Amino acid sequence: MKFEQAAGTNPIDRQKIIGQPTSRIDGPLKTTGTAPYAHERHGPNHGVVPNQSYGYILGAGIAKGRVASMDTQEAARAPGVLGIVTTLEQELLPPGQGIVANIFGGAEIRHYHQAIAVVMAETFEQARAAANMIRVDYDRADGRFDLATLAPQARVADESGKLKGEPFKVEVGDFAGAFAEAPVTVDATYTTADESHAMMEPFASIAAWEGEKLTVWTSNQMIAWSKGSLAKMLGMKPENVRLDSPFIGGGFGAKLWVRADAVLAALGAKKVGRPVRIAMQRPLVANNTSHRPATIQQVKLGATPDGRLTAFHHSSTSGNLPGGDVEVATQQSRLLYAAPNREIFMKLAVNDLPEGNAMRAPGEAPGLMVLEMAMDELAEKLGMDPVELRIVNDTQVDPEKPERPFSERHLVECLRRGAEEFGWNRRNPKPAQVRDGRWLVGMGMATGFRNSMATKSAARVRLQRDGSLVVETDMTDIGTGTYTILAQTAAEMMGLPLDRVTVRLGDSDDPASAGSGGQWGAANSTSGVYAACVKLRTAIAEKLGMDPTTADFTDGEVRAGNRSARLSDAGELMAEDRIEFGDLDKQYQQSTFAGHFCEVAVDSYTGEVRVHRMLAVCEAGRILNPVTARSQVIGGMTMGVGSALMEELAVDTRFGLFVNHDLAGYEVPVHADIPHQQVIFLDHPDDKANPLKAKGVGELGLCGVGAAVANAIYNATGVRVRDYPITLDKHL
Ligand code: MOS
């Protein structure tokens, strides 16, 4: 089904089930420990994979160079060992989709903890012990690990964020001239840190062969991409590969791609002739897979005394492996504020650290941490309220293509509503004025912005003989609530109660969905289910001899004219369809918006920061389920506090690894660190976006939060720290 914009009302608009606060339908499985995660296909409830062995991955002990030799004799004789595959016996595998690191094969080492062997044994402990007996000699080469040192040689990236094509810069009007003439200016440089996804469930896979056919139970956000990617790496036909990933314990973008756990489980299983189970050990999550690259960003703003931006510059430098791309930290800056003279670009420094790749709101998260701090600095110089500064510079059109409007944009309402709810008028604009005993108290705010992408998504719906419904798609639920919103969509469309709908996800044998990434999952996967349900409604009506165009599906019945029938009277029926959007994004810019507000207290003796309360007012089209959407937003807000205050992969610039590669050394906040989080959703269904009139919120909740925290710290202390994370040593 091709989406026709502004198609008017549809059954979803009844909102009997869609839009209602609904607890997760998969909640009981998770809270009772019976949801089968990737590494758990061994219990009675988990779909037993018999005769499993354990695989343990050995990561390279150098960051750059070659493996000169490997001695596996002692390891091979160790108790329980079934087999070993080393990188020297395997040609370098072709690159997987979306990644640049070497996954496996060959002597060349391009980053620390690149996989160089996998050991299969009867138990995990035996595999681990044997892996540590493998003796490796390396020819070590010098690597490039320090972004600050590399930045001067960084080159301007092309439009795709790589160094392949022409350098790309947004140049509108005359930035230099306008900046030179502007009566009020800000020109500052900021840094953000390397960050790790640090998801609870590590990368994990079980691989089993049946002849030519490979099944991998894994933990992956994008099933259709990853099926093709794994087939390509292993030199197989895609139809011989099946992935299954019904539950995922967090991905945050790292699990958009296939990594060494899946590949080495497959190679290992082939070697030992048994299924192989691998859970990537925690240090490899940081150093073998990917991370969010650190950035050095510069913002130059010029404004008139009434706060109108006349000159706008945002540039960012980040590093990546050869062939990798930039952290797209300036992408929101192309769309967020009106300013007639603009200069925006990104630079890339080639390095030899573990791969930089997508992490929740790639680009916008660190980009807004910087831009929205610069806006706070500008507001102070102007003597203007920071909320009003954003409002004055709002735009309803793409600033680079004024003929292209936003489909919906209510940022101003987000900000005004937020200011009112938060008690923003109680903020003292002069920093370091408010004390509560030894604590300095401050308030900060920032704009949140994240794009919303329309992308094709398919689903199958099956009407059962008893009148219940099954939804099948390869869509994933990465903890976001997908099971629930897909069930709500199907129930609304077919006029069934929620408990009459069963949702099956994550199996590559089912229709290819949008998958979970870039906060596009919710709106597109529900639209795919919508399309399939439209088809099923027609099939049911025709079978019952009713007019499909007037048939009404309510309370398990179908009614048309003066006739009615039970849904179950139609017998078993199946429909499959895919939503498609064509070039919708050429006509409209689709984005989501937020006003983030934060109050902190800073200990005036120790510099310790406590977040007291946070508010997000979000505009993201129709909210499909306020319970799961709120959960996404407060999760994002918590992550934003992490990036503002503590998250930082520490780079060992001598040896080229992330030192704090575990959950003890890599600090993240938990909800208990933030006593009060409030989320308000504005009600602006977007009929130009998709049949659900919805957009994503999974990344919006994070975007801008870091700056709101930083600006609150500045308001509390009067010390402006431009290097994230704002640890206490920096503002003492
Ligand atoms: Mo997101 S970083 O695209 O999963």
Give the start-to-end residue ranges of the domains of the chain. Answer: 11-35+457-580, 53-142+202-287, 395-454+582-732
CA-based Rg of the chain, rounded to a whole angstrom? 26
What is the rounded distance in angstroms from the CA atom of residue 70 to the CA atom of residue 190? Answer: 44
Tell me whether strands 341-350 and 169-172 are parallel, antiparallel or unpaired.
antiparallel
pLDDT tens digits, 621-653: 999 999 999 999 999 999 999 999 999 999 999
pLDDT at 672: 85
Residue 579: CB within 6 Å of ligand 1? no
Whose CA is closest to atom 4 on ligand 1?
253
Residue 359: CB within 6 Å of ligand 1? yes
pLDDT-derived band at 93 (thresholds 50, 70, 90) equals very high
Closest residue by Cα to residue 13 from 701, 690, 707, 604: 690
Name the CATH topology of 53-142+202-287: Aldehyde Oxidoreductase; domain 4 (3.30.365)
| DSSP per residue, 566-628 | EGGGG-SEEEEEEEB-TTHHHH-B-EEEEEEEEEEEEETTT--EEEEEEEEEEE-BB-S-HHH
**Range in 33-37, 482-486, 606-610, 726-730 with the lowest mean pLDDT:** 33-37
Closest atom of ligand 1 to CA, residue 361: 2
Q: With beta carbons less than 8 A apart as the criterion, state whether 262 and 230 touch.
A: yes
pLDDT-derived band at 6 (thresholds 50, 70, 90) equals low
pLDDT tens digits, 200-253: 999 999 999 999 999 999 999 999 999 999 999 999 999 999 999 999 999 999
Counting beta carbons within 10 angstroms of the beta carbon of residue 390, is it exposed (0 to 12), middle (13 to 18) or buried (19 or more)? buried
Residue 253: CB within 6 Å of ligand 1? yes
Q: 479 is written with which tokens?
A: 């903890």
Residue 636: CB within 6 Å of ligand 1? no
Residue 5 pLDDT > 80, yes or no?
A: no
pLDDT-derived band at 42 (thresholds 50, 70, 90) equals low
Beta bridge pairs of residue 169 = 345
Is this complex's ipTM strictly greater than 0.90? Answer: yes
Options 327, 472, 492, 699, the catalytic residue? 699
pLDDT tens digits, 313-370: 999 999 999 999 999 999 999 999 999 999 999 999 999 999 999 999 999 999 999 9
Beta bridge pairs of residue 71 = 135
Compute the average pLDDT of residues 518-533: 98
Closest atom of ligand 1 to CA, residue 256: 4
Give how far the C-alpha of residue 327 lies from the chain's centroid of Cα atoms, to the nearest Å: 13
**Distance from Cα 358 to the centre of ligand 1, integer Å:** 6
**Distance from Cα 23 to the centre of ligand 1, integer Å:** 24
State yes or no: cis peptide before 399, omega within 30 of 0.
no
Closest atom of ligand 1 to CA, residue 253: 4
Name the CATH topology of 395-454+582-732: Aldehyde Oxidoreductase; domain 4 (3.30.365)
Closest residue by Cα to residue 157 from 6, 22, 331: 331
pLDDT at 47: 64
Beta bridge pairs of residue 118 = 57, 85
Closest residue by Cα to residue 223 from 490, 459, 412, 561: 459
**Distance from Cα 388 to the centre of ligand 1, integer Å:** 31
Same fold, 11-35+457-580 and 53-142+202-287: yes
pLDDT at 43: 59
Predicted model pTM: 0.97
Closest residue by Cα to residue 12 from 692, 682, 696, 695: 692
Residue 363: CB within 6 Å of ligand 1? no
Known active-site residue 699: yes
Closest atom of ligand 1 to CA, residue 518: 3
Residue whose entry in the numeric block shows the structure tokens 């006029």: 495
Closest residue by Cα to residue 361 from 637, 688, 101: 637
For the domain spanning 11-35+457-580, the CATH number is 3.30.365.10
Closest atom of ligand 1 to CA, residue 360: 2
Residue 161: CB within 6 Å of ligand 1? no
Residue 703: CB within 6 Å of ligand 1? no
Residue 360: CB within 6 Å of ligand 1? yes
What is the rounded distance in angstroms from the CA atom of residue 570 to the CA atom of residue 549? Answer: 17
Q: With beta carbons less than 8 A apart as the criterion, state whether 591 and 335 touch.
A: yes
